[in-house]
Amino acid sequence: MRVMGIDCGTGYTGYGVVELCRDGKLLCLTCGAVKLSARESMSARLAIIFKQLGAIIQEHRPDNVAIEDVFYALNVKSALKLGQVRGVAMLAASSAGLQVSEYSPLTIKSAVVGYGRAEKQQVQHMVTQLLNLTEIPEPPDAADALAIAICHLHTSATLERHRAAVGG
């Protein structure tokens, strides 16, 4: 199974594509971030995100896309902008015929680190270990996107084992 994780943001939108190999190992196929300029209009930034995520989906052909669920923000304006970015990321995935799964930050950290209140550096370190990378992915948004993809792969594997055990 191949999953694209997307860490939505208005300055950087991180992405990472991870494959779960037959031997159970996780393989990072690509990661990075779409860097956005605050000088661009919001509509121009959204178009850039849509175009670049669409190109990554086209190139790496993930089976699913996973993104971080909405969390509570103190700043309403920031929350609205983030919602727009999330909508465009979901549109890029659904336009390619892909399912989008959403995970809370707590769930993502639990799946990767084993502790839902883990610090950002702990998540980056575990992503590096789980994917057997030589360096921590940069920018941090790329590591977060890889963590989201890993979370989806772990969750899917657990659900699959549960279905097999239940017999359905």
Query: What are the catalytic residues?
Result: 7, 68, 141
Which residues, in sequence order, are CB contacts of 71 under 8 Å at separation 6+?
104, 105
Could you tell me the strand order of the sheet in which 99-103 lies? 26-35, 12-20, 2-7, 64-68, 99-103
Measured over the CA atoms of residue 65, residue 3, residue 34 and residue 130, the dihedral's sign is: positive
Extract the tokens encoding 58. 């086209």
Which among 15, 60, 28, 62 has a CA at the least distance from the CA of 133? Answer: 28
Count of CB atoms situated within 10 Å of the CB of 150: 26
